[in-house]
Chains A and B, each alone.
Chain A
Amino acid sequence: MAEEKAKVPRQKMPEQDPAVRRRNFKEVPLGYSPETAKLEASRCIQCKTPGCSKGCPVGIDIPGFVKEIAVGNFEAGIAKLKEQNALPAVCGRVCPQESQCEGNCILGKKGEPVAIGRLERFIADWERTEGKMKLATLPAPSGKKVAVVGSGPSGLTVAGDLCLKGHDVTVFEAFHKPGGVLLYGIPEFRLPKDILFSEINGLERLGVKFEVNAVVGKVVSLEELFEEGFDAIYVAVGAGLPYFLGVPGENLIGVYSANEYLTRSNLMKAYLFPEYDTPLVRGKNVIVVGAGNVAMDSARTAMRMGADTVKIVYRRSREEMPARAEEIHHAEEEGIELFLLTNPVRFLGDADGRLTTVECQKMELGEADASGRRRPVPIEGAFFTMPTDLAVISVGAGANPLLTGSTPALSLNKRGYIVAQPETGKTTMKGVWAGGDIVTGMATVIQAMGAGKQAAASMHDYLTIGW
C-alpha cells in the first residue's frame, strides 16, 4: 500500500510568475485547491510512530489532520490542527518545514516528503475563507490574570493556550499593532497582513485582551504588573537590537538595519508612500549584507521597491547561507544576485551624506570555527567597489535591554538574554516566565511558539498548583 501511495508525486504549489511578482507585494505562492490538497494528503502513509510530529516544536498531530484532508473532511482537519497550534495560517507559510516536520517524513528518505506546510496552509486558509472559523469552548474562568509582554509568535501562543485554560490574558505590545516580528519583520508577499490579523482576531474573540502602545519596562514595570493584580507574566520581547558591521560610513543616509528597513516597509507600509506617510529610500543599486531569511526578505522588498540591481553580499559560501533553500530560490528567481565570499569594509557617500558606493573585500574559507562552519578569511589586497545607493545590514540582532535593564530580578546571561529553564521557561523571578528570541537569541517562528507551549503548560501548573 505504501508503495502505491508513493507513486503520487508531491503536488506543486502554484506561484506568481517571478517576472511579475518581483514588482508587486502580493503573496508569492497561490495555495492548493481542495482537489490538490486531497491528492497531496493522500500521499501520507500514516506512520504508527510519525517522525513529522516529533520534528514539530509544538507537536502537532500531523498524520491526524492530514488524514482528514485526504478524505475531504476539512472541518475535522482544522479542528485537529488547532488543538496544538493557534496560528496555522502563519506556520503554514513561514515555518522551516524542510528541517522540521517534512525533514522527518519517511517518504522523504527515498523520494519527496508530504507537503505538510502547504497542507497546513491550505486548511487554515480554507477555514478562514469559508467563514467557518469556530471558537473553542472555554472552561469556567480560573480567576487568574496573566500578562504577556510582546505579541510575537511566542507571546501569542502563550496567550492562546492560557486563555483556553480559562485564565484572563492581557498581551502588551510596544508597537501600535500586535504581531511582533510577524507584523514588522515578514513582508506581505510572504505573510499577508490580513491573514495575520485574522489569526490575532481569533485570539481576541476567544477573550485575549491586547494593550498596544505599551512599552513594558518604561510605562509599567513587571513589579507594577504584579501590583496591578496579574498573577503570572510571560516575557517574549524578542531579540530586538540590530547588529551593525562597525565599518566606516555606516551612518550614511541609505544604510539601514534590516529591522528598520522591514519595519518601515511592513508595519508602516512605506511601500505605499505617499498614500502612507512613512518614507523609505528607493535604491537603484542595492546590497543586502547577510544571508538569512531576514536578508532574503529585505532583498526581495528592495526589488519590489523598484531597484535595478539587488545583491546579497555574504562573507561565506552558498553552503553556509542560513536562509531556507526555498527563500534563496525565490529570491534568485526574482533576479537577486548572490555575491558570496564578499565582505563590505567601507561605505562611501556624497557631500549630503548619502550612500553612493560600497567597498568590499573578497574572502576565502579557512578552518572550521566554533559554529562548525568554515571561517571566512579576508584575501589580502582583494578589494573592489560597487555603486550602491541602498544598503541593508542583516547580520542578526541581540538582546534588547529595554525591559531587562529595568528588571534587576531577572538573571541574564553574558550576552544579555534572559536565563530561563529550558523545559519550562521559568526565570529567576517568581511568577515570571520567558521564551522565544529573548531567551535563545534569533530563532524561527515555530521555535518561539514551541517555547510558548512549554511555558504555558508550566504557567498553568503554577496558576492551579503553585510555583
Chain B
Amino acid sequence: MYKILSKRELAQGTVVENVISAPRIAKKAKPGQFVILRVNETGERIPLTMADTDPEKGTITLIYQVVGKTTALMKTLNVGDGYQDIAGPLGKPTHIEKVGTVVCIGGGTGIAVLHPITRALKQAGNKVYGICGARTKDLLIMEDAMAAASTECTLCTDDGSCGYHGFGTDLLKQILDREKVDLVVGIGPVPMMKFVCSVTLPYNVRTLVSLNAIMVDGTGMCGCCRATVGGKTAFACVDGPEFDGHQVDFDELTKRLRGYADMERQSMELFEHKCSCK
C-alpha cells in the first residue's frame, strides 16, 4: 500500500493533488519521469507524471484530473487510504542544461508535469518564461508554484476570467517575436501541444512535449504506448515520455488515445451507477 498523506482539490473538484508515501521512488525520481499506479485489485494500470518529489520525506506528489473510471475512483480515496501499487520512476528524465532562454508553456493538468521541469531549468541558470493556461479561472492550477519556479510567469484563460484573454500560444508567439528563445517546453492536452509545435516550427526553436500515451507495463515490454516520432515507431514509456514535438505524429496519438473510448464510457457508467446505488 502506498499511503495518501494529503489530498487537495485544486480546481472545481475535478483536479486533485495527492501527496503519497513512496520513499524508494521519491529518492530516485527526476523531473519529467512518471509512475504507473493501480488503485485496487480490479483496477487498471495508469501512468501519471510526478508533479513533485521530496526525497527527505519520502513522498511523491501526483496531480490528476477526473476524466474516467480510474480517476473517479482515485478521487474517492482520502488521507489515510492508499494506492495498491505504484511503480517507478519510469521514463527518461528531462534533459536539464543551461541553454539560455526557455519558455515553459503548460495547459490544464499539464502544468503539474511542467512545474518540476520549469524549476529545474531555472535552477540550471536559464531565463525561464512560464505560461500557464486553462479554459477558465477555476481550472487554472499551481499559479504560485509556477510563478516561483520561473523567472517570469504569465497566466491566461480562454474566457478571459483570469490573466490574458486568449491562448497561451499567443503569449508564446509574442515572446518568440520579441527575443531569441533557445528551448520551448510545452505540456498539456494533445491539441495544445500540437498547436505549440506549429507555432514554434517557423521560428526553428527546439520544442519538447510530453506524451501521455496509454500504457500497461511502462517498461518497454508491451509496446502499447507506440507513437510515431520522426517517421519511426517509438515507445513513449522508455524512449520518452518527452520527445521533439516537431517530429511527433500528434494525429496518430490523438486517435490511439481514443482507442478505448467506448469501453471507458461503459466502465464509467457502471461506476456512476454503483455509486448512485450506495
Q: How far is the CA of A374 from the CA of B220 in the complex (A)?
A: 32
Q: How far is the CA of A276 from the CA of B259 in the complex (A)?
A: 18
A414 at the interface (CB under 8 A from B): no
Which residue of the partner chain B has the closest CB to A279?
A: B263
Question: Could you say which of A214, A275, A279 has the most chain B C-beta atoms within 10 Å of its C-beta?
Answer: A279
B145-182 interface (Cβ within 8 A of A): none
Binds B, one of A34-42, A92-100, A107-115, A250-258: A250-258
B90 at the interface (CB under 8 A from A): yes
Closest chain-A Cβ to B231's Cβ sits at a distance in Å of 11
B79-105 interface (Cβ within 8 A of A): 84-90
Q: A260 to B88, Cβ gap below 8 A?
A: no
Evaluate whether A253 and B233 lie within 8 angstroms (CB atoms) in the complex, with A263-B221, A279-B264 already known.
Answer: no
Q: A212 to B85, Cβ gap below 8 A?
A: yes
Q: A251 to B25, Cβ gap below 8 A?
A: no
Q: B260 to A215, Cβ gap below 8 A?
A: no
Contacting residues, chain B, for A259 (C-beta < 8 A): 221-223
Contacting residues, chain A, for B216 (C-beta < 8 A): 260, 263-264, 268, 278
Q: A251 to B87, Cβ gap below 8 A?
A: no
Question: Could you say which of B252, B258, B263 has the most chain A C-beta atoms within 10 Å of its C-beta?
Answer: B263
Q: B223 to A353, Cβ gap below 8 A?
A: no
Evaluate whether A274 and B266 lie within 8 angstroms (CB atoms) in the complex, with A213-B85, A241-B220, A402-B219 already known.
Answer: yes
Q: What is the predominant secondary structure among interface residues of chain B facing chain A?
A: mixed
Q: B87 to A242, Cβ gap below 8 A?
A: no
Number of A interface residues at 8 Å Cβ cutoff, please give it: 40
Q: B222 to A242, Cβ gap below 8 A?
A: yes
Interface string of B30-60 (1 = CB under 8 A from A): 0000000010001111000000000000000
A219 at the interface (CB under 8 A from B): yes
A244 at the interface (CB under 8 A from B): yes
B28 at the interface (CB under 8 A from A): yes
Which residue of the partner chain B has the closest CB to A405?
A: B238
Evaluate whether A251 and B24 lie within 8 angstroms (CB atoms) in the complex, with A215-B90, A218-B89, A260-B222 already known.
Answer: no
Q: A353 to B256, Cβ gap below 8 A?
A: yes
Q: B255 to A253, Cβ gap below 8 A?
A: yes
Number of B interface residues at 8 Å Cβ cutoff, please give it: 42
Which residue of the partner chain B has the closest CB to A351?
A: B255
Question: Could you say which of B24, B218, B223, B266 has the most chain A C-beta atoms within 10 Å of its C-beta?
Answer: B223
Q: B217 to A174, Cβ gap below 8 A?
A: yes
Which residue of the partner chain A has the closest CB to B222?
A: A260
Contacting residues, chain B, for A401 (C-beta < 8 A): 220, 238
Closest chain-B Cβ to A38's Cβ sits at a distance in Å of 40
Evaluate whether A274 and B267 lie within 8 angstroms (CB atoms) in the complex, with A244-B223, A251-B252, A400-B221 already known.
Answer: yes
Contacting residues, chain A, for B219 (C-beta < 8 A): 174, 215, 218, 240, 400, 402
Cβ contact of B252, chosen from A174, A241, A277, A353, cutoff 8 A: A353
B67 at the interface (CB under 8 A from A): no
Contacting residues, chain B, for A244 (C-beta < 8 A): 223, 233
Contacting residues, chain B, for A274 (C-beta < 8 A): 263, 266-267, 270
A352 at the interface (CB under 8 A from B): yes
Evaluate whether A268 and B223 lie within 8 angstroms (CB atoms) in the complex, with A220-B24, A279-B267 already known.
Answer: no
Contacting residues, chain B, for A174 (C-beta < 8 A): 87, 217, 219
Q: A213 to B224, Cβ gap below 8 A?
A: no
Q: B258 to A402, Cβ gap below 8 A?
A: no
Closest chain-A Cβ to B278's Cβ sits at a distance in Å of 18
Q: How far is the CA of A214 from the CA of B85 in the complex (A)?
A: 10
Evaluate whether A277 and B70 lie within 8 angstroms (CB atoms) in the complex, with A215-B219, A402-B220 already known.
Answer: yes
Q: A215 to B88, Cβ gap below 8 A?
A: yes
Q: A257 to B223, Cβ gap below 8 A?
A: yes
Q: B88 to A219, Cβ gap below 8 A?
A: yes
Evaluate whether A219 and B25 lie within 8 angstroms (CB atoms) in the complex, with A244-B233, A275-B42 already known.
Answer: yes
Interface string of B18-34 (1 = CB under 8 A from A): 00000011001000000
Which residue of the partner chain B has the closest CB to A278?
A: B44
Cβ contact of B228, chosen from A220, A251, A253, A352, cutoff 8 A: A251
Q: A213 to B238, Cβ gap below 8 A?
A: no
B90-132 interface (Cβ within 8 A of A): 90
Q: A263 to B223, Cβ gap below 8 A?
A: no
B75 at the interface (CB under 8 A from A): no
A176 at the interface (CB under 8 A from B): yes
Q: How far is the CA of A175 from the CA of B219 in the complex (A)?
A: 10
B226 at the interface (CB under 8 A from A): yes
Contacting residues, chain A, for B266 (C-beta < 8 A): 274
Which residue of the partner chain A has the closest CB to B270?
A: A274
Contacting residues, chain A, for B223 (C-beta < 8 A): 242, 244, 256-257, 259-260
Contacting residues, chain A, for B221 (C-beta < 8 A): 240-242, 259, 263, 400
**CB<8 Å pairs between A and B, sample of 25:** A174-B87, A175-B87, A212-B85, A213-B86, A213-B87, A215-B87, A215-B219, A218-B90, A219-B88, A241-B220, A241-B221, A251-B252, A251-B256, A260-B222, A260-B223, A260-B224, A268-B216, A274-B263, A277-B44, A279-B44, A279-B264, A352-B258, A353-B252, A353-B255, A400-B220
- Given contact pairs A257-B222, A402-B219, enumerate 12 new A-B contacts (beta carbons under 8 Å): A213-B85, A213-B87, A218-B89, A240-B221, A242-B222, A250-B233, A253-B255, A260-B222, A274-B263, A278-B216, A352-B258, A400-B219
